[in-house]
Amino acid sequence: MSATEVTYERGSVELVNVTKSFGDVVAVDSIDLLVKPGEFLSLLGPSGCGKTTTLRLLAGFEQPDDGFIRIGSTFVQGVPPYKRDVNTVFQHYSLFPHMNVTDNVAYGLRQRKVPKSEISAKVVEALAMVKMTKMAGRKPTQLSGGQQQRVAVARALVNRPSVLLLDEPLGALDRKLREEMQIELKLLQSQLGITFIFVTHDQEEAMSMSNRIAVMLDGHIEQLADPDTIYEQPTSAFVAGFIGRNNFWRGTMRNDKVETLNGVFSPLRRVEKPAEGSDVIVSVRPEMIEVTDERPNGDVDMLQGRLISISHLGDVLQFVVKTQNADLIVFVPRHDAPKVNQGDSVWCSWRREDMYLFGASQSELVFAEPSVK
């Protein structure tokens, strides 16, 4: 069956064996990805991982060196951006400073020769969606960053594309406004049912908004799953360290246990099955650690150390416990915090099923910064 005979649902996106290089640098390396209609998918990863290049390939600003891209029922290699059923929202909103809000939102409709009788109604509807009706006559310089972001979203949605591409659109906003806009964007996407593909380096942003997350590294997808799976079942040490906070140690497999400079542990979440004597990495998340002033009982792994720092993070306290060879980060609910003070000797313990075991192949990524992340 030829590509032209295949029917695909509007809003679906597919990349098959897509590769893009710039000189000797492979920015996107043989990516396969299928996005469902109406899905909120985030491309998440550090700078240089290939997420923005992937988005630009979808938008048509770049063309793949190999592979194919499908948007809906159309294979779009060589198709210019304005002929694709997508629109893009950028971090820098690119609003026309000499136009008011209404004219900025209407610009794309006019370029597409939409009848004037339809433009006004479509613009009114788009501004209502983003709660900017009262600002319709203002220029971009008269708007806050969050208001400009809403206008950029309205301009991108006014044509009702099947896919909206968002390239770190909240990056220029302060933390409080960014969190508010995360909620608004997710609600808007749910109401419209449009496929959103969202690029970010902010793990919390991706976790709070997405149906699925593609964690990217060195031009490929390291793991693709829903937020709970990404957090609870990371498939690599990189994902475990990039999503959320984590404590890592280097170790060696000895008699089915892990010997480290901090002691011998028995992790039960074994992502890989390293051979006897091989180098490994073990990790435990800060919220899975219990702090007590006495040695704990039970079938748990543990470390003794000195409490050197207490930080207040809203409803959570962050403890830093100095052990023999590492500083351990611990998150404790404020209402359940033990009665300990800075400088006290404490015990840190965790269930063996809450400790992860990885092969050591990604040590240079996990330990590129201090071992406490």
148 in any annotated domain: yes
In a domain, residue 373? The reply is no
Q: What's the chain's average pLDDT?
A: 90
pLDDT single digits (tens) 82-114: 899 999 988 777 789 999 999 999 988 888 888
Report the b/e string of 262-280 with b at 16+ CB within 10 A. bbebebebebeebeeeeeb
| Dist CA 158 CA 42 (whole Å) | 22
Q: What is the pLDDT of residue 187?
A: 87
pLDDT of residue 372: 35
Same domain, 49 and 69: yes
pLDDT for 166-176, tens place per residue?
998 887 777 88
What burial class does residue 200 get, using C-beta atoms within 10 Å of its C-beta: 0-12 exposed, 13-18 middle, 19+ buried?
buried
CATH code, domain carrying 136? 3.40.50.300
Q: How many distinct structural domains can be found in the chain?
A: 2
What pLDDT is recorded for position 368? 67
Q: Is residue 173 a part of any domain in this protein?
A: yes
Domain-terminating residue out of 184, 217, 232: 232
Please identify, among 232, 257, 272, the residue that sits at the C-terminal boundary of a domain. Answer: 232
With contact defined as beta carbons under 8 Å apart, do 147 and 135 qualify? yes
pTM here?
0.88
Q: Are residue 203 and residue 241 in the same domain, yes or no?
A: no
Query: What is the C-alpha separation between 150 and 132, in angstroms, rounded?
Result: 7
Residue range 256-277, pLDDT digits in tens: 999 998 889 999 999 888 899 9
Same domain (yes/no): 265, 220: no
Is pLDDT of 292 > 70?
yes
Residue 279 has pLDDT above 90, yes or no: yes
Average pLDDT over residues 303-308: 94
Distance of CA 254 to the CA centre of its chain: 36
51-65, 126-140, 358-372: range with lowest mean pLDDT: 358-372
Residue 371 has pLDDT above 60, yes or no: no
The per-residue pLDDT for range 220-238, each reduced to its tens digit, is 999 999 999 999 999 999 9
Same domain for 192 and 326, yes or no, is no
Could you report the per-residue pLDDT of 337-363, keeping only the tens digit for each? 889 999 999 999 999 999 999 999 888
Confirm whether 372 is domain-assigned. no
Whole-number Cα distances in Å, 361 to 15, 216, 275, 340, 357: 28, 17, 13, 38, 12
The predicted structure's pLDDT at residue 219: 95
Residues 216 and 294 in one domain: no
Q: Does 265 fall in a domain?
A: yes
Tell whether 216 is covered by a domain. Answer: yes
Asked whether residue 76 falls in the same domain as residue 119, the answer is: yes
Q: What integer pLDDT is reported at residue 1 of this predicted model?
A: 36
Q: Do residue 338 and residue 291 come from a single domain?
A: yes
Q: Do 87 and 197 have their domain in common?
A: yes
Q: Could you tell me if 224 and 254 lie in one domain? A: no
Q: What is the CATH number of the domain that holds 267?
A: 2.40.50.100
Tens digits of residue pLDDT in 30-64: 999 999 999 999 999 999 999 999 999 999 999 99
| Sign of the dihedral through C-alpha 359, 363, 365, 370 | positive
Mark whether 30 and 87 lie in a shared domain. Answer: yes
Domain end call among 202, 232, 262: 232
Q: What is the pLDDT of residue 175?
A: 81
Could you count the other beta carbons within 10 Å of the beta carbon of residue 84? 21
Shared-domain flag, residues 189 and 248: no
Q: Which domain holds residue 256?
A: 237-366
Decide if 371 is inside a domain. no
Pairwise CA distance, residues 138 & 66, whole Å: 45
Asked, for residue 275, whether it belongs to a domain, the answer is yes
Q: Assess whether 80 and 172 both reside in one domain.
A: yes
